[in-house]
Amino acid sequence: MLVGLFVAGLTALVPGAAHAAEDAGERIFGTLQTSVSGPIEGISVEVAEMSGAEVDTVETDEQGRWSVDLPGPGQYTVTVDAGDLPEGVTLNGEPSRTVTVDEGRQQGVIIGLNDGSRNSGGGSIRWVELLVSGLRFGLLIAMAAIGLSLIFGTTGLVNFAHGELVTIGAIAAWFINVGAGVPLIPAAILAMVVGAGIGALNEVALWRPLRRRGTGLVAALVISIGLSLLLRYLYQVFYGGRSNAFADYRGQRSVDYGAFSMTNKDLTSMVVALVVLVLVALMLQRTTMGKAMRAVSDNRDLAASSGIDVNRVILVVWMVGGALAALGGVLLGLSDEVQWDMGFRLLLLMFAGVTLGGLGTAYGALIGSIVVGVFVQMSTLVIPNDMKYVGGLLLLIVILIVRPQGILGSRARIG
């Protein structure tokens, strides 16, 4: 029932999406931009087969984007004309890249550019830059992790499908913004409504009936893994495997703030995330529903005996968690583009933040997520950028050894 309603709703939201898989072919695409120059237009990109036969030569558009349709799967060589690059911008490495494209795959190509800003100003500037970037990343993780923590606190469910709520928020906002032409801010609000609705649908159609049947937490965990896999690949079918940017706020240049530089959209993302998290904290502390959430999280049976409607509180928790995850997906897609598996890639870091802060506590999820975000970004000072997520999981292991209950968790006697 849940899957049927989800597919029907997504099909209504995206007309003709059901035929996306049939129409999709092999394609190579990419974006040329730097933090200083922004998107670079008019750069020639040549795609050729390994035999040397040219497939096509295109130029980047005003957003720095290019794409080439391929005759079929196989290996291709992508060559950028370095002579077209603006003054002060150079290629990192060779001008050619060899890419393997599988059948039906739309493969992105990363072409590194250097604008002279990297490592400029000494080591102190570098670590300040990473610290600010880590704070921004940690706030985005916290947006989604708080809902995950509240769901665990009120139901005991370790929800592996929570990352898909992040993805549906970004995808819904992208279709509303790009497909329907709605500005990104109202599109993000509508995406939060979609996320809250999907969260409520999860609770009413799936998890509440399972609780009534007495389904164990281990079985529920396995069900959430299956639901995550199902939704993730439904996203790929309906949305496709390509990364897409929102129509608004693309190609911004970094603004120099002295010790660090940041685009206006990244700064706005930090401010929005911080304001929303403060509002969530005020809701938990000052409102009747917030106090009921904390009561159910502390002791569900005692809360029920005190007259609290536990099912109603859990439904609100799912809606709040879904809305926060959707907004987190929109903010993440604003900086990293929208992808069909973006929530899954964020999931382990959400779990790391929740466990580090203390299972079931919203404030613990906030603190733990910020620590994880900062540690992940700062770890690139000593390890390659591609391995930075390993640093966050290593931090989780160390903290669990030293303080298993997490930063704000309380010691519990087992057995």
Residue 2 is assigned to a structural domain of this protein: no
Strand ranges inside 179-278, DSSP E? 255-256, 261-262
Residue 42 is assigned to a structural domain of this protein: yes
Domain boundary among 53, 86, 114: 114
Say whether both 84 and 149 belong to one domain.
Answer: no
Say whether both 48 and 176 belong to one domain.
Answer: no
Is pLDDT of 246 > 50? yes
Q: Confidence class of residue 297 from pLDDT cuts 50, 70 and 90?
A: confident
The three-class DSSP label of residue 80 is strand
Domain boundary among 92, 114, 136: 114
Residue 386 is assigned to a structural domain of this protein: yes
Domain limits at 103? 11-114
Residue 294 is assigned to a structural domain of this protein: yes
Say whether both 271 and 382 belong to one domain.
Answer: yes
Mean pLDDT on 20-30: 65
Say whether both 77 and 137 belong to one domain.
Answer: no
Residue 295 is assigned to a structural domain of this protein: yes
Say whether both 394 and 245 belong to one domain.
Answer: yes
How far apart, in whole angstroms, are the C-alpha atoms of residue 342 and residue 162? 12
Q: Confidence class of residue 228 from pLDDT cuts 50, 70 and 90?
A: very high
Mean pLDDT on 384-393: 75
How far apart, in whole angstroms, are the C-alpha atoms of residue 31 and residue 111? 8
Is pLDDT of 62 > 70? yes
Say whether both 187 and 74 belong to one domain.
Answer: no
pLDDT for 287 equals 92
Say whether both 93 and 200 belong to one domain.
Answer: no
Residue 4 is assigned to a structural domain of this protein: no
Residue 6 is assigned to a structural domain of this protein: no
**pLDDT tens sequence across 251-280:** 677 777 777 788 888 889 999 999 999 999
Say whether both 144 and 68 belong to one domain.
Answer: no
Residue 120 is assigned to a structural domain of this protein: no
Say whether both 110 and 236 belong to one domain.
Answer: no
Say whether both 91 and 142 belong to one domain.
Answer: no
Domain boundary among 114, 144, 168: 114
Q: Confidence class of residue 330 from pLDDT cuts 50, 70 and 90?
A: very high
pLDDT for 113 equals 78
Query: Worst-scoring range by mean pLDDT, 11-20, 60-69, 82-91?
Result: 11-20
Say whether both 134 and 205 belong to one domain.
Answer: yes
**CATH code assigned at 185:** 1.10.3470
The total domain count for the chain is 2
Mean pLDDT on 75-81: 89
Strand partners, 100: 75
**CATH code assigned at 42:** 2.60.40.10
**pLDDT tens sequence across 120-156:** 443 346 788 888 888 999 999 998 898 898 898 888 8
pLDDT for 105 equals 76
- 113: phi then psi, degrees, rounded to nearest 5: -120, 150
**pLDDT tens sequence across 335-361:** 888 989 899 988 888 888 888 887 767
Say whether both 90 and 227 belong to one domain.
Answer: no
Mean pLDDT on 214-218: 89
How far apart, in whole angstroms, are the C-alpha atoms of residue 360 and residue 156? 8
From the list 70, 150, 66, 152, the residue with the least C-alpha distance to 106 is 70
**pLDDT tens sequence across 82-128:** 887 887 788 776 778 888 887 777 777 877 777 655 444 433 467 88
- pTM here is 0.72
Which of the two residues, 292 and 14, has the higher pLDDT score? 292
Helix (H) or strand (E) holding 33: strand 33-34
pLDDT for 121 equals 40
